[in-house]
Amino acid sequence: MRFLDSAKIWLKSGDGGAGSISFRREKYIEFGGPDGGDGGRGGHVIARCVDDLNTLIDFRYKQHFKAQRGMHGMGRQRTGKTGDDVLLKLPVGTQILAEDGETLIADMTEPGQEIVLARGGDGGRGNIHFKSSTNRAPRRAEPGWPGEERWVWLKLKLLADAGLVGLPNAGKSTFLSAVSRARPKIGDYPFTTLEPKLGTIEFDDDGFVMADIPGLIEGAHEGKGLGDRFLGHVERCSVLIHLVDATQEDVADAYRTVRAELLAYGHDLGDKPEIVCLSKCDALDEESLEEQAHLLAEAARRPVHRVSAASGQGTRPVLGEALELVRERRRTEREQRAERREG
């Protein structure tokens, strides 16, 4: 299935049905009077969050959604049938934005969460509502109210706990495949990963989700390479795992390049906890590895993990540190939810 993380769609809720103009005409009832029923309400357009989707590919082939209009009212005070709703099923992590692409309407983060994006128009009143002491036979009924119409943007931001970032060919896909059951495409050329990949990490009777983000290059925030379009998928991460290829000539420059792109992107990515790893350590001798690790630690101003996805060297300490940061974030979120409930 192809990955799609952005879509613009048009929504139209159903118009309300018109009220009825009707009079009772029955044998032995001399003064029947008005009995026109109300029109039915138009259908809503509803978005529902489901947990068995991970892409917006369904909205590539259909961008217009229109709910059914309400049926007209009928005689004998019969109300018209309510129009059928349109249900949009969205993956967990989808943001719904207004047509300007910036105003947030809803953030769908929990399975089962629902929001009405366009309300159906109310049905018009039948002539029975207009009877009065001075107008015993009203020939007036209301038309149905029109439904709502709007364009919205759907933006998917994967709900991953940890995000893998780095230059192309830094070993991110190999790392993900080594520590999880994910099987991303791996190749000896840049931009092997063309879309984010997820893997579930099981560690000491606990676990978390890791996202592999396509490689960044200098100028990504200006659209170079694959640009920064996929960085939104690590906005929700608790921790970033920054991989730097040990076989590169200048590991410090490689680190600073990716950091500059994270800061240029904004959305507080530069402030997230970061675990720095020197990858492909099995390709260097001990002396060269020590030198590269020293240069990277100076540039990052933090301890550097030495890892090799091919041999499994150093992966467990990285996962342990990442899990601790994920647990800390989860505790903070639980406390915040509890405070909101109490407030």
Q: Where are the domains of the chain?
A: 1-156, 162-342
- What is the pTM (predicted TM-score) of this model? 0.71
Q: Are 126 and 22 in contact (CB under 8 A)?
A: yes
> What is the CATH architecture assignment of 162-342?
3-Layer(aba) Sandwich (3.40)
Distance CA 223, CA 235 (A): 18
Binding site residue list: 166-173, 191-195, 212-215, 279-282, 308-310
Say what the pLDDT of residue 66 is: 97
CATH number of 1-156: 2.70.210.12
Binding site residue list for GTP: 166-173, 191-195, 212-215, 279-282, 308-310
Helices (H), 81-224: 172-179
Helices (H), 124-250: 172-179
Say what the pLDDT of residue 3 is: 63
Could you check whether 1-156 and 162-342 share the same CATH topology? no
Q: What is the pLDDT along the chain (343 residues), one digit of tens a residue?
A: 456 778 999 999 999 999 999 998 888 877 788 999 999 999 999 999 998 887 888 898 899 999 999 999 999 999 999 999 999 999 888 999 999 988 999 999 888 999 999 999 999 999 999 999 889 889 999 999 999 999 999 988 777 888 888 888 888 888 888 888 766 555 554 445 556 777 888 887 888 888 888 777 666 555 555 556 677 777 888 899 999 998 888 999 999 988 888 888 877 888 889 999 999 898 888 889 899 999 999 998 999 999 988 888 888 999 999 999 988 888 888 888 788 777 6
Name the amino acid, one letter, at 43: G
Tokens read off for 212: 């592999």
φ, ψ of residue 334 in degrees (nearest 5): -65, -40
Binding site residue list for Mg(2+): 173, 193
Strands in the chain per DSSP E: 6-12, 45-50, 64-66, 86-91, 94-97, 104-108, 114-118, 149-156, 162-165, 197-203, 206-212, 239-245, 274-279, 304-306
Helix 315-342 with 172-179: angle, nearest 10 deg = 80
